[in-house]
Every structure is written in C-alpha cells, then in structure tokens.
Structure 1
Amino acid sequence: MNNQPFQTPIEYLKGVGVARAEVLKKELAIYTFEDLLRHFPFKYIDRTRFYKVKDIQPEMPYVQVLARLVSKEIMGEKHTKRLIALAKDDTGIIELAWFQGIKWAEKLLVPGKVYVIFGKPGFFNGKLQMSHPELELYNPAAIKQKGNLSLQPAYNSTEKLKQFTLDSKGLQKLIAILLEQTARDIHENLPAYLLNRFKLVGRAEAYRNIHFPNDANQLKEAQYRLKFEELFFLQLKLLRRKQQHTQKFKGNVFGSVGNYFNEFYHQKLPFPLTNAQKRVLKEIRTDTQRGVQMNRLLQGDVGSGKTVVALMSMLIAIDNGFQACIMAPTEILANQHYQTISELVGDGFVKVALLTGSVPNKARKIIHEGLEDGSLQILIGTHALIEDKVRYKNLGMVVIDEQHRFGVEQRAKLWRKNVIPPHVLVMTATPIPRTLAMTLYGDLDVSVIDELPAGRKPIQTLHFHEAQRLRMFGAMKQEIAKGRQIYVVYPLIQESEKLDLKNLEEGIEVMSREFPLPDYRISIVHGKMKAADKEFEMQRFIKGQTQIMVATTVIEVGVNVPNASVMIIENAERFGLSQLHQLRGRVGRGAEQSFCILMSKDKLSNDGRIRLNTMVKTNNGFEIAEIDMQLRGPGNIEGTAQSGMLDLKVADLAADQEVLQQARNCVIEIFEKDPQLAAPENQILHLAFQSKNAGLSWDKIS
C-alpha cells in the first residue's frame, strides 16, 4: 500500500473491483478508501437483546429472536412459490417466509439447528410472521466478535447499489474489511491536551465505534469525538484564514470623522439612530482605524436600518478622501438603495449615481468619468460595478448587500479595484442562525442590528384557511378605506411555472371581481414581465396610483412603500420560513399598524403547520432562522449551498451548537497563545495544515 492509504481508489479494496467501484462512485460519490470510511451509518438498529416469541408485537420495528428451526417447506408454483419455515423458542412459534432468494434460504435452513433471526414482525392469517429475515447460525463464541449482539449500523444505499448486493449489509461488510485493513493508519490529529480536556476517545477507536459500536455509550463517545474534530478543524481553518487576511491585507486608515458624516448626522438624519445602529457604527469606526482591511458582516432584520448604517460608513470614507460603492444582487434592490440614499442625502450634498445593466451608454460614460476623476463619491449598482471598464480613482469602502447571492470571484473583483483593498461591509437581511454564521462567516467579524427603529409597531400575523377568504377581503377593504395599500403574493416555483402563473392569473381575476374599477386599481408584477413593464407597475404602486399589488416573489426584496400596511401570502404553506419572513418585512415600514395574512389550504403537512405557527407566534428573524434550520437542515438554508462549508459528515449545526461553540472557543484560545502553531504540543495541528493526509484528510471541509 502507498503512503496515503486513505486516498487509494476504492476499486482496490478487497471485495469491490471495477464494476462495484463504478456504481459506488455514481451512486454515493465514494471514490477512495476515505470516502467509504466516512460513509457513516444514518441509524443504528438495537441488536443488544433477544425477544421471546410471546413478547413480539406486530407494530415493533425490528426484533431479534433466538429460536430452533422446526420445519421448512417450499409451497406454491412459479409466481406464487414461497418458502415457509417454522422456528420455536420456549414461549411459542414464529413463521418465517421467503418470496425471493428461495434456493439460497432453503440451503441455509437446517431443521434442529438454533438460529439468530432478525427482522420486522407482522401478522399474516392470524399467525406471527417475519418476511425475509436475516439469519445466522447461533454460535455463542463468535457472535459477539461479529457484532450481532450490538447496535447494527444501517447505511444509505440505492436500488442500483442493491443490484450489486451493496445494500446496507453489503456496505457494512466492505467497511469491516476496510477497518481491518487500515485501522493502524488512522493517526491521531488532535493534541493530547485536547483529548484530555474534552475527554475525547482516540481517533482510530472513534472510527471503529461509529461503524460498529458495542453499546450506546461507545457510539455516543465516537460521535462526540468525530463531531468535535470536524468542527474544530473547520474553525481552525476559518480563523487561520482570518488571521492570515489580517496580516496580508493592509487597509486604508480612516483617521477622522469629518463634515460629511457630522452634517448628515446632525442635520439630515430624519430619525434618531437606535442603540444597535450606534453600536455597529462604533464597531465599523474601530475597524477602519486599524490599518487592516475591514471584513465585517452586518446582520439585521428587514427594516432594522442597515442602509442608514451603510450610508454613514460610506460618509466616513468620503470624509477621508475615498469613494464608496454598494453592490446589490438585483436591479430592483439597487434601485431601491439608490432612491433611499438619494432621499436621505438630498440634493447637492454628495454625488451619488446608479449603474445597472439598464443604464444607457451616454449616462454610463458620464459615470465612468466621474469615478475616474473622483467627483462621483457613491456608486450604487449590480454586477455592472465589477466590469473591467469601471475604474475608481480611490475606492475605500465596499458594501455588498445580500452577499450570499454573489460568488467569491465577483466579490474579489471589487477588492481589486484599488491598490490597497477597500474596507468591506457585507449586509444581509436573511437572519442567519448563530451556529451557521460561525460556520459560513467564521472568518468575518459579525455585527447585529437587533432592534427596530423607534415608533415601528410589530407586524400582526394571522393565519387564515380558505373558508376565511371573505374575512380576508373584508380586512383588505377596511385598510384601503383608511388610505393604505396591500400586497398579494403568489408562489412561483420553477418546476411548475405554468401551473403557478395560472394560479396568479386566477388570483388576479378574483381580485378584479372583488375590487372592481373605478373604486380600486390593481398593479400586477411577475418574473415573466419585461423589466420596463415591471418597473412601470411598481412605480404606479409606489406613487399610490394603485391600492393593490398582485405579485409573485419578485417583490421579496427591494420594494419600500411605507404606506403599504397589509401583506397577503397565498398558498403560504408552499413558502419556506425565511421567504415568509422576508415577504412580511415588506410591510410595517410606516408608523401605522401593519398586518401579514397567511392564506393556506385546510390540510397541512406537519412542517407546513410548524412554519405557519412560527410566523404567527414571532417576528424575531433569528428565532425564525433557528426553527428554519431545524426543519430544513443547514445545507438548505438560502446561500449555504454555494459556500462549500457545509459538507459536514457527522456534525449537525442545528443539534450540535454546544460542540461548535466549544470548538471555536478552543481554537481562539490556541491562536491567542500560539498564533503560528509553533509550540511542540501544537505540532500535530501544524502538520494537519501542511499535509492533506495526516491520517484522514479534513481538508475537504473548505
């Protein structure tokens, strides 16, 4: 075997070969010994006890019986052929049945012999029966060694794999062979002081016991060890990256707060800042004075005032002779930022421009010139900001909104727009659970705006079923009579766009009948419309020329109409929690009481019911995000898929928050004492950085 046994192609494992290797690669992405070893069981079946026949109930999941075979008989012809055997213990008789693999089973069965019988019990014709049980001759000496009196691992398999006898049992056999062959090559990768401090079992023992535990305690210890290791190395990598970033990327020093910031704060700010906004501005101010590039994530619920914080950060840059920009993922959102910031700063204060794909060439040329001579101070736009022809005189501050929608390369292009990289403020209105933030953005400093501006009333959320539609119409008419406006949102899900568009069109018909001209006017916006038509309809609503906007989720971000006080979400059960929360945040922008009405069908799945009840119960985005993560798993939360961070094999961010916090605190402590991992006791960690294959690689977590 070579020096890197775990990178050995899977076809070289005894019992695999070329054909099985191909199907393992295609079905489970198992290419190497390591991939197989890290194909962990998804559950364990308790084989630590034998049941007596009289104690078996048909609703039991799986049972194990020790019984003597009394008889066997092949019955029926061709298609109805079956093998029926009877087995007996001192309390009763159980019938065993095979409808496939009859020849194989018949050879295995010897009347008079005692067998370990394992399977799912049921009743057939009033008799206790087990179909296609696992069978093994009872051998008291060998049984413990083989692990039959233990927790039996169950592995994910597929129909294709089963054709190659690689069901759960087949995979179990391969993993047993692999462990026997390579256990000595599983080297320790954590220092002794960590093993002692956290009472962690050795690495080789953990791998053996996660696959073949003798009892629940062994399994728990193995899982804890491997979860800790996985999260520890993830945090080590993230915090090392942050450390290296700090050393490598110098930042412009914003030494003073000048006239732009002070005039805006004292004369133009239309409302007092919340304590949370002041705290975040102080954190940004500190970052930009250190001579190191700022890399800060700003989390804040919809309507919490992130844009004002971003603007005031950009004014500090302008006070120090630099330009600033905001990059948004969509034209709608870029337009929204442009309008909000233009209104806040007023005419003749700072020069602000908007650059998107829709900007004509003539205007574009003026923007390019203003950027290059420094007269244009704030540029707001979409991906257009990172085009090669966009050159800044002195870019000092970059704000990236809803950053999970941009790739790493797109963000890096903005950095390269200046000799000294600009300070970076990343904003998101998608609340991220704390554990996910530590994992996805562990190399960023995190700020949170966790209070709403004064005078905002919490949005009231109601859940109506179809039978309550008339009540919904009544609520709409009441609000319109007060001079308010209303959003009505329909789902548009890619797999069935035609079906959902029909749904939207039917909804428009219903709304038009219930809210006829000339008393009511309706705007219609959906993703299939031309950009100009969409903008025209949105502007009619923004200007108050229409009272109702019937739309798909294109309005999820970027429409700010303080006069809109009701958000109605049709088929609310078809939306994820994060999206429901984002949509609800489109209202509640003014001082008036706002409402969110969730319309759903009567029958809901359990998850659907939890989602809608959560929305009714709380307005707290972080609480909602935690529940969302528990329901969907961290890998499905918006923006995490492209991060590549979440290829966690053992740890679960929803369930293992405590382990993650332990691991992160531990890494912070190590770097404080030994930033270069040069101390003798940390050589083992240093080696893990140097070698992708220190025992098993953890480098795949990136």
Structure 2
Amino acid sequence: MNDQLFKTPIEYLKGVGPQRAEILKKEAAIFKYEDLLSYYPFRYIDRTQFYKVAEATPDLAHVQILVRLKSFEVIGEKQSKRLIAKAYDDSAEIELVWFQGIRWVEKNLKLNQVYIIFGKLNHFNGKAQMAHPEMELFSKENVTKGNLSLQPVYSSTEKLKQFSLDTKGIQKLTANVLEQLADKIEDVLPHYILQKYKLNSHKEALLHIHFPTDSKSLKRAQTTLKFEELFFIQLKMLRSKLLRTYKFKGNVFSQVGDKFNYFYENLLPFSLTNAQKRVIKEIRSDTQKGIQMNRLVQGDVGSGKTVVALMSMLLAIDNGYQACLMAPTEILATQHYHSLKALLKDDFVEIALLTGSTKKKERKVLFEKLASGDLAILIGTHALIEDTVQFKNLGLVVIDEQHRFGVEQRAKLWRKNVIPPHVLVMTATPIPRTLAMTLYGDLDVSMIDELPAGRKPIETIHLYETQRLRMFGLMKREIALGRQVYMVYPLIQESAKLDLKNLMDGLEVMAREFPLPQYKFSVVHGQLTAKDKEYEMQRFVKGETQIMVATTVIEVGVNVPNASVMIIENAERFGLSQLHQLRGRVGRGAEQSYCVLMSGVKLSKEAKIRLETMVRTNDGFEISEIDLQLRGPGDIEGTQQSGILDLKLADISQDQQILQEARKTVIEIFEEDPDLNLEKHQTLKKFFSVKRNGISLDKIS
C-alpha cells in the first residue's frame, strides 16, 4: 500500500485547488487526504420522508418538501439585500429567503421546475418560510442517488460555506477521495480481531460512515472506527508501560531509614488511614523492583495525599536520593511548601521553594545546595524543569495535577538523572474509571478512598432563593460558635445575559444582614492584584474576618479548618466537579460542616441532577462518573489540554464497553506477543513507525 497517497496535500484533490485548500486548512484543519477521511459527520438526517407545505410545522427540526418554483426577485439594498423566491405544492405556498450567496443562488434557480427543498421551516406574517434551504432539482435518479436515506451532516462555518463547502460540498470532496483511494485502503486491525467483534474492514467502515446505506450499516461503521481509535490509544499506552517495565531501570529504595521512621513515630500529627497505609505500601513495593515507578494517586480533597507524597520523599532521602514536587501554579506550590514545612518542623529535612517569583540571589544559593546534595526536597512550578536546575541525585518526582503539564515538560524532569527518577502523580480531581483508563492508561493507579479519622461528612443542603432566611440563620448560628463562612458567587459584575446574583450585589445584602462591627468581611475575586488577594485571604486565615465573599478563586489554595460553612450562590450555574471542589474547602476540622447550594426556582433537568447528586453523596468518584455522563470527557477539568483525548469519533462517556473491549484485547495481545513479532501482529508493529488512514502512533524509543 502506498501510504504517501493518504498524505497527499488537500489542494491536489479534484474540486479543491489553492483557495479552497487554504480555507479547509484554516477552518477545518484538513491538510491532507487522510484528514478529510477522518472528518466525520456529526449527525445524520433521515431524507426518506417528504412533507406537504401545509403539514410542516416549526417544531420539526428539518423538513423535506417537493415544490414547484413560481417566482424569484432580489429586493433591498446593501445590508438589507435579500433574494426571495415563491414556490408551492398542492397544499400551500412557501417563501424561500437568502441573505448570503445571492448572486450564485439567483444564477442557478430555474422557474417552473420542481425542486426538493430541505431546511428549517418557520412562519413569518402567517406564511410558511424557509431561510437558506438546501435545494436540488427533482428527478427520480437524484432521489435515489443524491438523497441518501441517512444524509450525513458535517461541521461547517460561514467561511467554508462561502466556498460552497457546506455539508454537500464536503461530502462531494469525500466521495472524490474515496473513489481515488478505495483500492488502497487496507485494514488497520488484525483479521481475527475484526471477526471476534464482528467489525467492518477499515475500507467498509470509512465508506459507511460517510455514505451509510441504512442505520444498521452506519452503526457498524461507527462501532468499528470507535474501536480502532480506542484500541490504538491503549496499544500505545500499554506498550509504553511494557517498555518501561522491561527496559527502563529504576533506582532501588532498599531501606526504610531514620528519616521515614522518625517522622512516622514522632512528627506525624495524626494516625494514617488504612487507605494511606495501603498506598504507601504500593509505592514501597514499586521502588524496590529496580524499574521506574509511574504511579497515579487519586484522592478526594482532604484525603491526605500530601502526607503520602511526603513519606515517599522521605523514603527517597533515606536511600541517598533527592526529591521534588511540581505543582501547576504558584499558589499551589506555595501551599505545598508551607504544608510540608509545618509537617517536617524546622531542621529535620532541608526543603526549598522555587517559582517564577524566586529572586536571583536566592536561586544562586538554592542551585548550589541542590548540586551539592544538601537540599533534599525542592518544591516548585514549571521553574523546576529549567536547564539551570541541576540535582545531585534525583530519585523521586511528585507531580500534582498531572493533566496540567505536557508530556515534554514531564520528560524534562525525568532527564535530570542518569537513571530516570520514580514518578508519583497526584490528583484531587476524582477521575472516572473509564477516563483514567484513557488518560492514565500507562500508569499504575492507587486510590485514597477514605477520609482521616475524626472528619465528619459535610452536610449538603439545597435551598431556593425563597428560603434565604434559613441560610442567614445557619450562618449566624455558626459564626456565634466562633466559626467562619465562605460565600461564593459565579460573577463579579452584572451580566446582561445571565440573571445571576453577583458578588457586589451580594455584598450589599450581606452588609444589611450582618452589620459592622459585629461581623467582618474578606472580599476576594479575580480582579484584585495578587498582593491584595493574599492580604484578604490572610485576614480570613487568621480569623480576623468571619465571612469570605469570593468568586471561585478560592477553589484551590485556601485551607482554613475553622471554616464550617460553604454557601454557593447560583449553584445551578456550576459544574458538578467544581461544586465538589468548592465543598471540599470546608470539613477540614473536627466540627460538623455544611455546604448550602442556593439556586433559582426554575431549574433545567441537568441542574436538578447536579444539585440532587451533591445533596445525596460526598463520594468524589461517584460524582465524577455522573459529571462525565452529563458533560462528556472534553469538559472535565484539564482533559482538553491533555491532548490524549483528541478523539475524532469515540466518546468515552458513552462508549465505555468499546473501551473496555479494546483495552482487554490489547492486554491479551501483549501477554501472547510482547514484541509484536507474530505474523498476525505485523500490521500493529508497523503502526509504531507509520501514520496512515487517519490514525497516528508516535514512535516509542
């Protein structure tokens, strides 16, 4: 097969040319033939049904009608210029209107001819009207050939449409590519896998996704292409894991030494939960095998991931190595630094912080200590990956919220030692199992699914706007007990589009209900300078103010055990994972804590599910599963930046069974044939160095 044909620049395709190629590249990221083949329709319309003009109603999504063209004229000037045509069938008359492409449409219209018109019907001044309909001359031939029973609809834009690259135009180009390449399309999966799961050949799948003959052929084509997409993600990830297991050496942490034991016996301020102990044992086991550890630790807000990370770092130090922790923001890095300093006391282990704000003089001292090995633990942001940061012997890298860092950024840390350091990834965003399988398929996964002893579950209450007095009563009661309250608003200023309670209005209401000097406020939002934000936060942390009125800026980076109430205004406007993260800001002390979800009375079905879920459960993993079902993977925090979820067709919230079958198949392949040397796996082996038919695998060295 000639793979180069699939890489042919799109301008060489019949019907494209330089101008159309430029717009396809800019608007649809279609650069080559293979990009067009994987530019899949996003929905399909049943074109077998015809309506009469009198039968068609505006509540129908789209209608198809046979009409005879009676007249047409261009009226108006400049911006108000439009083309109006009148057509009819034996039931009524319909008006067809165009505001764009007027010259081209006018040139092609033919009076007294019968047309198939297709589009969204509306009524204007009591008359049936259709704006910018799809139109084609009626003939028995084009009913069977031009109107598929299931017509694909492709994503298009105004600019694409100006070059006649609407659904019909894109479909025509796709037909040209398939006609040219049909005989060159080979299967990408071994034949026995196609048989086992009753999948199409790759050629059939591409034909039927773009030109389905019926719903059955479409379903099978979609299943095949989804399986292929998820299969190759798993193949790449699990091969990477296999290579790491057998080919990448890892430092051996052979002993549990003085630092670890002294901390555990004398400095640890609370007993470890069974979940924390289990995860530490898993890390201990990983670091004794002589291969590089790559482990993901998932744990809800407040589950004690930081202590697990610290004890892992002490394990590295006891074995003569240094450790570092990389966080995505200065706020988080600084919080980790202060948390670890507080746990370690003063001089037990030397620890330092490196961020973009670290002064040149401080950096010089820090770099010297790092190179000599005197500095045991370095906490920082992206600044850690700079070439000037040189460790004497880096043994463990802890990465907080991995999905915020690119692959190349992480790899730079691994190269800072002759033998790659062990890698421990932490995330406080509970990730659904299927998403973890796709995002972190090459990592071993540990879960801290237990809260520290003495923590009471947060009580979550949903109140409507009409029940605001109950909310004020709870706030006053908790403040009288010496506790503090968060109030979170989604906006800072009025929005003409969204009727939301905003922070400034809220402050006015609160000032009347909670007058000075008895009650004091901190106000924190994104428009404050970093210095002012820190000042306001610190007042609240020190207990100088009782109520923090804030936007979601407090979602990360604030830890106030004395805060016992979280009030979220317009809670229906927040996503589930965001609500859960905000709720996690309270419940950090031994006292009972509360989360109050305030909402309007009119709620969408999805908003009701979100708020009911929050009231029913505190389990972050259950919440993340529901969030995935409601929003899809692209919206879950961070996954869009990860790059790995650039899926063309598969949707892991809907295609969990396909994902599991694909992963199971890959595991079986590597168990039987780890080097892909068997004849039946030669197609797969080729994919590690070749890109073809729209599927790409990077070569793994």
Q: TM-score, normalised by structure 2?
A: 0.89
How far the C-alpha of 1:253 sits from its partner, in A, is 0.2
Q: Read off the aligned partner of 1:6 and give its amino acid letter.
A: F
Which residues of 2 match residues 209-358 of structure 1 at below 5 A? 209-358=208-357
- Offset at 1:608? 4.2
In structure 2, the CA distance between the partners of 1:396 and 1:125, relative to structure 1 (3 Å rule), is closer
Alignment of 1:391-410 (within 5 A): 391-410=390-409
Equivalent residue number for residue 87 of structure 1: 89
Distance 1:691 1:334, change over 3 A: closer
Is the contact made by 1:648 and 1:701 (CA closer than 8 Å) also made in structure 2?
A: no
Task: Name the counterpart of 1:18.
Answer: 18
Q: Distance in 1 between matches of 2:494 and 2:316?
A: 45
Alpha carbons 1:493, 1:500 under 8 Å: kept = no
In the TM superposition, residue 609 of structure 1 has moved relative to its aligned partner by 4.4
Q: Percent of pairs identical after alignment?
A: 66
The 10-residue stretch of structure 1 (169-178 or 243-252) with the greater mean CA deviation from structure 2: 243-252
**Partner SS state of residue 651, structure 1:** coil
- Offset from partner CA, 1:53-77 (integer Å, 9 cap, x none): 8976664434556x7x7x6532788
* Aligned residue number for residue 375 of structure 2: 376
Q: CA 1:266–1:532 in 2, change beyond 3 Å: closer, same or farther?
A: same
Does the CA contact (< 8 Å) of 1:47 and 1:64 recur in 2? yes
Is the partner of 1:349 in helix, strand or coil? Answer: coil
The reply to whether residue 109 of structure 1 matches residue 113 of structure 2 is yes
Contact persistence 1:94–1:129 (CA under 8 A):
no
Compute the displacement of 1:236 (Å). 0.9
Match of 2:138 in 1: 137
Q: Partner letter of residue 106 of structure 1?
A: K
Query: Structure 1 454/28 Cα, relative in aligned 2: closer, same or farther at 3 Å?
Result: same
**Structure 1 291/106 Cα, relative in aligned 2: closer, same or farther at 3 Å?**
same
**After the TM superposition, which residues 59-208 of structure 1 pair with which residues of structure 2 at under 5 Å, given as runs?**
59-64=59-64, 73-74=70-71, 78=75, 82-88=84-90, 93=91, 95-100=93-98, 101=105, 104-107=108-111, 109=113, 118=118, 120=120, 132=133, 134-139=135-140, 143-144=143-144, 146=145, 148=147, 150-208=149-207
**Offset of residue 323 of structure 1:** 2.0
Give yes or no for contact 1:147–1:214 (8 Å, CA) kept in 2. no
Task: Say if 1:552 and 1:77 are closer, same or farther in 2 by CA, change over 3 A.
Answer: closer
Deviation of 1:494 (Å): 12
In 2, distance between residues paired with 1:174 and 1:211?
A: 11
Please give the alpha-carbon distance, in whole angstroms, between the structure 2 residues aligned to 1:136 and 1:700: 48
Structure 1's 267 and 81: CA in aligned 2 closer, same or farther, altered over 3 A? closer
Contact 1:488 1:551 in 2 (8 A): yes
The gaps in structure 2 that reach 5 residues or longer are 77-81, 99-104
- Helix, strand or coil: the match of 2:452? coil
**Comparing 355-364 and 32-41, the one that deviates more:** 355-364
Cα offset, 1:335, TM superposition: 3.0
3-state SS of paired residue (1:325)? strand
Q: Distance in 1 between matches of 2:89 and 2:539?
A: 79
CA shift, 1:441, in A, is 1.6
Aligned to 2:101: none
1:83–1:102 Cα contact (<8 Å) kept: no
> Counterparts of 1:415 and 1:77 in 2: how far apart (Å)?
67
Q: Which amino acid aligns with 2:89?
A: A
SS at match of 1:284: helix
Q: 1:27 and 1:535, CA in 2 relative to 1: closer, same or farther beyond 3 A?
A: closer
| Partner in structure 2 of residue 39 of structure 1 | 39
Q: Deviations over 1:348-406 (max 9, x none)?
A: 53333334445556655554444344333333333343444443332211211122233
Q: Does 1:473 align with 2:457?
A: no
Correspondence for 2:102: none
| CA-based RMSD | 3.4
SS of match in other structure, 1:4: helix
The amino acid of 2:96's aligned partner reads: W
Moved more, 637-646 or 648-657: 637-646
SS of the residue 2:89 aligns to: strand
- For 2:436, give the aligned amino acid: A
3-state SS of 1:519 partner: coil
1:629 paired to 2:651: no
- Check conservation: 1:326, 1:381, Cα contact below 8 A: yes
Contact 1:186–1:696, Cα closer than 8 Å, also in 2: no
Query: Following TM superposition, by how much is the alpha carbon of 1:556 offset from its aligned partner in structure 2, in angstroms?
Result: 1.6
Q: Secondary structure at the match of 1:392?
A: coil
Counterparts in 2 of 1:333 and 1:700: CA distance versus 1, 3 Å = same
CA distance in 2, matches of 1:133, 1:381: 57
Is the 1:598–1:612 Cα contact (8 Å) retained in structure 2? yes
State whether residues 227 and 658 of structure 2, in contact with CA within 8 Å, keep that contact through their aligned partners in structure 1: yes
1:7 alignment partner in structure 2: 7
For the 8 Å contact 2:227–2:659, the answer to whether it is kept is yes
Find the counterpart in structure 2 of residue 558 from structure 1: 557
**CA distance in 1 between partners of 2:74 and 2:233 (Å):** 60
CA distance in 2, matches of 1:147, 1:266: 78
Question: d(CA) in 2 for partners of 1:163 and 1:384?
Answer: 47
C-alpha displacement at 1:117, in angstroms? 6.0
Once the two structures are TM-superposed, the CA of residue 203 in structure 1 deviates from its matched residue by 0.8
Check the 8 A contact 1:234/1:701 in 2, yes or no: no
| Cα gap change, 1:405 to 1:95, in 2 (>3 Å) | same
**1:647 to partner: Cα distance:** 1.8
Higher mean C-alpha deviation, range 205-214 or range 515-524 = 515-524
Structure 1 residues 688, 421: closer, same or farther in 2, change over 3 A? Answer: closer
Give, as a single letter, the amino acid of the residue that structure 2 aligns with 1:109: Q
Q: Deviations over 1:456-476 (max 9, x none)?
A: 222122233443333322211
Partner residue in 1 for 2:675:
676
Equivalent-residue separation in structure 1 for 2:331 and 2:13 (angstroms): 55
Distance 1:614 1:550 in 2: 25
- Unaligned 5+ residue runs, structure 1? none
Shift of 1:484: 0.9
Name 1:542's counterpart in structure 2: 541
1:698 alignment counterpart: 696
Q: Secondary structure at the match of 1:690?
A: coil
Letter in 2 for 1:158: T
Residue 51 of structure 1 contacts residue 63 of structure 1 at CA under 8 Å; is this kept in 2?
yes
* Letter aligned with residue 137 of structure 1: F
2:193 is matched by which residue type in structure 1? L
**Alignment CA distance shift 1:3-1:688 (3 Å):** closer
Residues in 1 aligned to 2:158 and 2:467: alpha-carbon distance in whole angstroms: 46
Supply the distance in 2 between the matched residues of 1:283 and 1:650 (Cα, whole angstroms).
36
TM-score, L = length of structure 1: 0.89
Post-superposition shift, 1:225? 0.3
For these two proteins, the number of residue pairs brought into alignment is 687
Q: What secondary structure, in the 3-state scheme, does the structure 1 residue paired with 2:303 have? A: coil
